[in-house]
Every structure is written in C-alpha cells, then in structure tokens.
Amino acid sequence: MKTTVVDWGVIPYAESWERQSEWFEALIDAKQHDKPYENRVILCEHPHVYTLGRSGKDNNMLLSEEQLEAINATLYHIDRGGDITYHGPGQLVCYPILNLEEFGLGLKAYIDRLEEAVIGVCRSYGIEAGRLDKATGVWIDGETPRARKICAIGVRSSRFVTMHGLALNVNTDLRYFSYINPCGFIDKGVTSLRQELGTEVPMAEVKQRLQQEIIKQLQG
C-alpha cells in the first residue's frame, strides 16, 4: 500500500481544487476499470480563502463581497461535507486522495484516523488536544467554555475514494476567523500551534510530523 506524499507549496485554492478533482476522478476510474493508481497525500498552503461546504449556511460568512476583496480573500462553495472554514498563509492544509478500501477503512473510521494524526502532531509539541462530541476536527479544552479548534476537517468520498481533508492552524493569522462563524459555531474559538506555544513554529517541521502521523494512522 504505497502512499505518495506530494508538497504543492503555496497554491491558489482554485488550482488545488482542480488538480485534486482530476486525481480524485482518475482514482475512481482506475478502481472501476482495474487500472493501476497511486494513493496520494497532498500538503500545501493557500492564499486567503473561505470555503463553504454542501451543508453550510451562507450567513456564516459575515462579510460582503466588497469586504472580502478589502481583506484580499475569496469565497468558494465546494463539494465537501461541513460548513464554512478559512484557509490562508501559515495554515497547513492536507488533501489525502485515497482508496479507503485498500486501507480497510470506512469514512467514519478514516476521519477518526485524520483526527488522531493531528492529535499526535499536537502531542509532539506538548499540546493536549482531542475531540469534541458532535463536532469533527481537533480541539483544545474541548469540553470546557474555553474550547478552541486547532484543526478543521471536511472530506468528500465517492466509491470509497477521498478528497479534501484537513486544515491545521500552525502560524495562521487568526483574525481571519473573526469574519466567519467557523464551521457554523458561534460560541467556540480557534487557535494555532503558534498561539498555544507562544512562538512561531517551522512549517517544514510540522509538515514532516503530520506526514509521518498520517502514514502511521493509515497503516493501522
């Protein structure tokens, strides 16, 4: 079960979505027609962008189009699960394009593995993170009034092939979350590795740790 890790660096959201979609459709086609394929884990960062999932509500975006332009951001309605989220510089985005059947995983178990990988990365920095009941993603102090999200997760799956994935706040400018109700929540905060540690964290180091944790989780 070879899994190739691809680093796209900083890439505009629209371009990453198009390239993801091509690889996603190619993997589905390969499964259906018994052709060779690759499982891939893509790592990247995006310029400022908001994405709204299928079940998302437009009113969770608090800015007008003109205000979005003023903060140099764009908005996309996309085909993953979940509500609205933000991507931007200093945030590590990970898009696994995988045949889950090859790993013996259903969608719920797969999302659980993604969460566990991020929890492992946080632990490696001495941060105790975990889950929050009825909310995907990774949280700190999740069951307290100080609950704050450090990683958002939203996945699309078809024929047990995945796309989209997770967004881990590393050195993210958290002000951009104040312009939305992140993932539809109005009563919970967001955070980053930098915010929790009080210092900038090397992105290359976080990429390496996340890559290792995801591969470990996929191998079971």
CATH number of the domain within which 141 lies = 3.30.930.10
Range of the structural domain that residue 15 is part of: 3-218
Give the model confidence (pLDDT) of 158-193 as tens digits.
Answer: 999 999 999 999 999 999 999 988 655 556 789 999
Mean pLDDT of the chain: 93
For residues 56 and 29, the model is more confident at 29
Give the pLDDT mean for 131-150: 91
158 Cβ contact list (under 8 Å, min separation 6): 24, 28
Count, residues in the chain: 220
d(Cα 80, Cα 162) in Å, to the nearest integer? 10
Q: So what's the pLDDT on residue 186?
A: 57
What mean pLDDT comes out for the span 131-146?
A: 90
Predicted confidence at residue 185, as pLDDT, reads 59
- Mean pLDDT, range 12-40, rounded to an integer: 95
For residue 144, the tally of other CB atoms under 10 A from its CB is 9
Q: Could you give the C-alpha distances from 78 to 21, 26, 55, 134, 171, in angstroms and in order?
A: 11, 19, 10, 22, 25
Tally Cβ neighbours within 10 Å of residue 51. 24
Beta strand pairing status for 39-45 and 130-132?
unpaired
Rounded Cα distance, 114 and 109, in Å: 9
Hey, which residues are catalytic here?
183
Question: What's the CA gap between 180 and 3, in Å, rounded?
Answer: 35
List pLDDT tens digits, range 187-211: 678 999 999 999 999 999 999 999 9
Looking at residue 54, its pLDDT comes to: 82
- Residue 90 near residue 203, CB atoms below 8 Å: yes
Count of structural domains, the chain: 1
Locus of tokens 């994405």: 51
